[in-house]
Amino acid sequence: MAFPSRTPNHAPLTLSDLNNDVLLEICDYFPETPRPATCRLSYTHPQPTPTPLKNLSLVNRRLRVLLRPILLRSIALTEPQTSPVPNGWALARTAIDGLTTADGAVVSGIRSLRLALYGHKWGNDYALSAALSHIIKFLLHLPNLQRLHLNVPHPYMLAFETELETALDAAPLTALKKVESLSIEIRMVALLSHCPNITGLVLYKTFNDTFTRLYQLPLTALSPHPSYATSLTHFCAHAYWSLSEISHLASAFPSLKHLCIRGYSGHPPLSALTASLGKAFRHLKVLALPDLERLNQGWQPALCGTGFFGPGGARRWREYEETKRRSTERAVGRAFGACRGLEECWVGEWSCARAVGRSARAVGRSGVGKGGSVQPALEEKEVGVERDRCLGLEDGGGGGNDGDEDEDDKEDDNEGEDDDDYGTPKSLNGRIADLVNEYSDSQGSDEPDFSSLPPTFDPELAQAVKGISWEWTHGQRYTMQGFVVLDDDEDFDDPDL
């Protein structure tokens, strides 16, 4: 009597035996890495660390063809790390031609494109000036592009903008229609009219124009696609921030939830700016202040670290560190007090105040900031200010304020109030910010107690201030829709590249 064999009569399946659909499903389970499934087509940057998908694509031709559209989802044609290459465009065109002649799956799979061959430098490349149409043709043949960063040298900015507008008018209706994140120079802001689904906009600083003037932004009534006025929720600009500029920004994009302020505030103090933000953007959830020291908030960074050496250097360092800590806490307190629904307030690149609970702890990150300015670590500090119902966060949410503020800061605050109010009654948010600042100053303590407010204070304000609290976290870099805030000489980079 024969018994059936327990050994299968066929060979076990291998990876090569699986069909393409199953292989792609398997690839989706690969662990995420700092550089997930992305290839940099830069002619100067070193090759990124291999990822599991890149290693798998080297196994055989079939896997390479199958995974190539995934590996080329994000493309970066960027400037050299050290010195400019005279024929940069000629080298970059080789990569573009390779993508253009590739199969349709590669071109349709590109989701992110960063074109910054010369950064903010005055590129003088004759080959580039004669090939702008080649770049535009490649750009318009990316039907599924979602993130676009364009950095064109200033001498060719006008020609590029004109030729791109002409090409877009004659391009298929699908061109740029899926773009959600856009990083451009403000002179190219007309591209917004061709991106109806945009949710994030970055206006970087140009080489010869220190300040971006927000009044150049087109108002929604004049735009062919006013839908982006409500869909755009993330905005960042290196600008000259004034009360009128904020008002114009609110008219153009009233639905902002994430705002990054870079550059200078000019004459209005920070207290006036935050009060204006609270009135202009009712849905604001995240406020980023990477350049806080430039926003006229009563404190200036050290110009040179050598001032802390020699006799008395340690004492001056402690005073400087304490002044910065107090100014930072005041700025964050004003932001949370003025913006009703604010959940996060970023200071610098690495420190974030988040609305969590009823106490506040400041844990900063030491390092050297832009321009060689010293940025000492924020000491761990308890701030007895709470925030809950009045700011629209039932579980609590964000801010505190430190005590001693010098007379110059008080004068600046008073000036800001006059400039912001124009004789009209203050809203509850504005009065909350004033109460947090003035009462903590009158207490002369780092931990002002708001539980026993004098009867002269407005009862509505007293009830509101009892709901302010936040805490600091550090170690994670500020990003906006995947764009990482870099130094002024850079702009926004793609962490996937």
pLDDT in tens, 44-82: 344 455 677 888 888 888 888 888 888 888 888 776 555
Residue 272 clears pLDDT 70, i.e. is over it: yes
Q: Which domain holds residue 459?
A: 257-304+315-497
CA distances from 266 to 90, 147, 148, 243, 416 (A): 42, 32, 31, 10, 12
- Find residue 345's DSSP bridge partners: 287, 353
Q: Is 62 helix (H, G, I), strand (E, B) or coil?
A: helix
Residue 171 placed within a domain: no
User: What percent of the chain is predicted at pLDDT more than 90?
Assistant: 3
29-38, 294-303, 488-497: which has the minimum mean pLDDT? 488-497
What does pTM read for this prediction? 0.68
- Report the pLDDT value the prediction gives residue 173, as an integer from 0 to 100: 66
pLDDT digits (tens, 9 = 90+) for 305-363: 677 777 887 888 888 888 888 888 888 888 888 887 888 888 887 888 887 643 333 33
> Domain count of the chain?
1
Residue 221 clears pLDDT 70, i.e. is over it: no
CA distance 451 to 203: 44
Mean per-residue pLDDT, 248-277: 84
- Residue among 198, 196, 233, 201 nearest 217 (CA): 201
Which amino acid makes up residue 228? Y
Q: Which two tokens stand for residue 487?
A: 């130094």
- Residue among 250, 248, 272 nearest 259 (CA): 250
- Report the pLDDT value the prediction gives residue 431, as an integer from 0 to 100: 56
- Find residue 202's DSSP bridge partners: 183, 236
CA distance 372 to 341: 35
Residue 492 placed within a domain: yes
Exposure string for 44-80, b = 16+ CB within 10 A, e = fewer: eeeebeebebbebbeeeeebeebbbbbbbbbbbbbbe
Q: Is the dihedral of CA 452, 458, 464, 465 positive or negative?
A: negative
Mean per-residue pLDDT, 94-105: 77
Exposure string for 312-346, b = 16+ CB within 10 A, e = fewer: eeeeebeebbeebbbbbbbbbbbbbbbbbbbbbbb
Mean per-residue pLDDT, 380-386: 30
Q: 178: number of CA atoms within 13 Å, CB side?
A: 16
Go through the chain and tell me how many residues it has: 497
128: enclosing H helix or E strand: helix 126-129
Q: Which residue has the higher pLDDT, 447 or 178?
A: 178
Mean per-residue pLDDT, 164-174: 78
Residue 124 placed within a domain: no
Mean per-residue pLDDT, 213-219: 64
Q: Which two tokens stand for residue 292?
A: 């806080």
Residue 271 placed within a domain: yes
- Residue among 136, 141, 142 nearest 164 (CA): 136
Q: Which long-range contacts (CB under 8 A, 24 or more apart) does 172-177 make?
A: 172/140, 174/143, 175/140, 175/143, 176/140, 176/145, 176/148
Confidence band of 383 (pLDDT split at 50, 70, 90): very low
Cβ distance 449 to 417 under 8 Å? no
Residue 431 placed within a domain: yes
- Residue among 190, 116, 191 nearest 151 (CA): 116
Q: Which two tokens stand for residue 222?
A: 């004049």
Residue 111 placed within a domain: no
Cβ distance 190 to 222 under 8 Å? no
Instruction: Tell me how crowded residue 411 is: count the other CB atoms within 10 A of its CB.
Output: 12
Q: What is the signed CA dihedral for 22, 24, 25, 27, rounded to 10 degrees?
A: 130
Confidence band of 227 (pLDDT split at 50, 70, 90): low
- Report the pLDDT value the prediction gives residue 43, as an integer from 0 to 100: 37
Residue 412 placed within a domain: yes
What are the backbone angles phi and psi of residue 374, rounded to the nearest 5°? -85, 135
Instruction: Tell me how crowded residue 373 is: count the other CB atoms within 10 A of its CB.
Output: 14
- Residue among 248, 246, 249 nearest 270 (CA): 246
Q: Which two tokens stand for residue 407?
A: 């007379």
CA distance 283 to 267: 26
Residue 126 placed within a domain: no
